Homo-oligomer: A and B are copies of this chain.
């Protein structure tokens, strides 16, 4: 094996005139060390610019790793969520690592192995990953944001309530002919809670409502095309989208088409709040979601066999 070129504890030990065991101890604040040797070792470390190599940092859990798997950070919702997660995890002395879902449904297996190898402390997922039959996920330190994966605890906002609030708002504005547009095929069937919430209200008032979806594609350009196909004529009073990005695209398209229905979104990231303050949408409490995800995960890391709910619901706010 090629010898590492940076300084090792051996070098530090030699310089400080102690054994490598002692150096190890001061690095890990382990066992007792006399103030005197401590100082001389610290000095040697500084002088040589010594640092524990990464691979040993996670072999020995010096740096507790959390893997975060997201579909993309191009959507401000996820970008913000990740930044909050990263912040909180840092506060709690963990280190977050971001991964994108590459369409490999079995990606989770690898992380599970890493957990078993003791080399990652926990995982946060918000991608539609699959579970593998032979593994028991019950006591594993994994938490999900808004995705159902087997028995893994899930955190999400109250989508049903959000859908209702949107619908009520739309009704209060006197809209009668409505399209519910899902920005995502998966969410369309089985019907997701946002749509269910909207429908429950609309149906109560016998409102004329249609539903449609566009296939999920991350590139806005392609979504655009699908939207133009879904909305060809100005026949709706209001178009209720299941996410903000779709809403913005719809808004843009309808303007071009020369008609201006009410368009509503869903998610309400800070970015959207700041730069599209006029969009009627529902705010997912990103910061609170991140906090809860982290806190639950850490709880699960420390007490694998504690009882966890299958679902944690966070309240939602209408932005109008």
Contacts and interface: CB of A to CB of B under 8 A. Distances in A.
Interface of A: 1-2, 4-6, 49-51, 53-56, 58-60, 65, 72-74, 76, 79-80, 82-83, 86, 90, 97-98, 100, 102, 109-110, 113-114, 116-120, 134-135, 220-221, 224, 248-249, 252, 270-271, 274-277
A72 B270 CA distance: 14
A80 B76 contact: no
Nearest to A86: B100
A1 B28 CA distance: 14
B83 A117 contact: no
A113 B59 contact: no
A281 to B, nearest CB: 14
Contact of A271 (B56, B74, B224): B74
Contacts of A117: 4-6, 51, 53-54
B59 A55 contact: yes
Contacts of A59: 53, 55-56
Contact of A54 (B6, B58, B72, B249): B58
Nearest to A115: B6
A274 B247 CA distance: 12
Given A55-B119, A117-B51, A252 B270 contact: no
B49 A113 contact: yes
A83 B99 CA distance: 10
Contact of A220 (B5, B82, B113, B270): B270
Contacts of A49: 109, 113, 134-135
Contacts of A271: 74, 76, 220
B270 A6 contact: no
Contacts of A65: 54
